[in-house]
Chain A
Amino acid sequence: MEPLIPPLYAGQLIRLTGIDLEKDPETEARWMRDPAYLRSFGEDVAFPKSAWQVKKQYEALEKDADEHATMFHFQLRPLDDERLLGFARVCWISWPNASGFVQLAIGDPADRRKGLGADALGVLLRYAFDELNLHRLSARVPEYSLPAQRLFGKFGFQVEVRARRMLERDDRRWDQLEYGLLRSEWAIRAA
Chain B
Amino acid sequence: MDDNLLRGCLVRLSAEDPEPLAAGLSRWWRDSEFFRLLSFHASPMFSPKHVREWLEKELEKNPPEFYLFGIRSLDDDKLIGFMDLGRPSQSGNCWVGIGLGERDYWGKGYGTDAMQAALRFAFMELNLQRVTLNVFDYNARGVRSYEKAGFEVEGRVREAILRDGVRHDVIFMGVLRENWLQGTAQSSLRHLRSTAGRLALAQHPRGAAGSRPERGAGAGGRQGISEPEGPVLS
**CB-defined interface of A84-119 with B at 8 Å, one 1/0 digit per residue?**
000000000010111100000000000000000000
Q: Within the assembled complex, what's the spacing in Å between the Cα atoms of A169 and B91?
A: 8
Nearest CB of A to B122, in Å: 15
Residues of A within 8 A of B129 (CB): 165, 168, 173
Nearest CB of B to A144, in Å: 13
Question: B160 and A136: CB pair below 8 A?
Answer: yes
Contact of B91 among A43, A94, A138, A178 (CB under 8 A): A43
Most buried by A among B40, B91, B92: B91
Kindly state whether residue B155 has any CB partner on chain A within 8 Å.
yes
Kindly state whether residue B62 has any CB partner on chain A within 8 Å.
no
Interface residues of A in 162-189 (CB under 8 A from B): 162-169, 173, 178, 180, 182
**CB-defined interface of B143-161 with A at 8 Å, one 1/0 digit per residue?**
0000000000011111111
Q: Within the assembled complex, what's the spacing in Å between the Cα atoms of A99 and B136?
A: 15
Interface residues of B in 1-60 (CB under 8 A from A): 40-42
Whether A96 contacts B41 in the complex (CB less than 8 A), given A135-B162, A166-B130, comes out as yes
Nearest CB of B to A43, in Å: 5
Whether A162 contacts B155 in the complex (CB less than 8 A), given A43-B89, A96-B42, A178-B172, comes out as yes
Kindly state whether residue B234 has any CB partner on chain A within 8 Å.
no
Q: Within the assembled complex, what's the spacing in Å between the Cα atoms of A30 and B160?
A: 37
Q: Total interface residues on A, using CB and 8 Å?
A: 25
The chain B residue with its CB closest to the CB of A98 is B162
Interface residues of B in 70-110 (CB under 8 A from A): 89-93
Kindly state whether residue A61 has any CB partner on chain B within 8 Å.
no
Residues of B within 8 A of A166 (CB): 91, 93, 130, 132, 174
Kindly state whether residue A8 has any CB partner on chain B within 8 Å.
no
Question: A180 and B157: CB pair below 8 A?
Answer: yes
Q: Within the assembled complex, what's the spacing in Å between the Cα atoms of A93 and B226?
A: 39
Nearest CB of A to B180, in Å: 12
Question: A163 and B132: CB pair below 8 A?
Answer: yes
Q: Within the assembled complex, what's the spacing in Å between the Cα atoms of A162 and B41?
A: 24
Whether A94 contacts B154 in the complex (CB less than 8 A), given A136-B159, A168-B92, comes out as no
Whether A165 contacts B162 in the complex (CB less than 8 A), given A45-B90, A94-B40, comes out as no
Residues of A within 8 A of B155 (CB): 159-163, 178
Residues of B within 8 A of A164 (CB): 130, 154, 174, 176
Contact of A136 among B41, B93, B132, B158 (CB under 8 A): B158
The chain A residue with its CB closest to the CB of B90 is A45
Whether A94 contacts B156 in the complex (CB less than 8 A), given A45-B90, A166-B130, comes out as no
Question: A96 and B162: CB pair below 8 A?
Answer: yes
Measured CB to CB, the residues of B under 8 A from A are 40-42, 89-93, 129-130, 132, 154-162, 167, 172, 174, 176
A sample of 29 inter-chain contacts (CB < 8 A) reads: A43-B90, A43-B91, A45-B90, A96-B41, A97-B40, A97-B161, A97-B162, A99-B160, A135-B162, A136-B159, A159-B155, A160-B156, A160-B158, A161-B155, A161-B172, A163-B93, A163-B130, A163-B154, A164-B154, A164-B174, A166-B93, A168-B90, A168-B91, A168-B129, A169-B91, A173-B129, A178-B157, A180-B160, A182-B159
Measured CB to CB, the residues of A under 8 A from B are 43, 45, 94, 96-99, 135-136, 138, 159-169, 173, 178, 180, 182
Given contacts A98-B162, A159-B155, 20 further A-B contacts (CB under 8 A): A99-B160, A135-B162, A138-B157, A138-B160, A160-B155, A160-B157, A160-B172, A161-B154, A161-B156, A163-B130, A163-B154, A163-B172, A164-B154, A164-B174, A165-B130, A168-B90, A168-B91, A168-B92, A180-B158, A182-B158
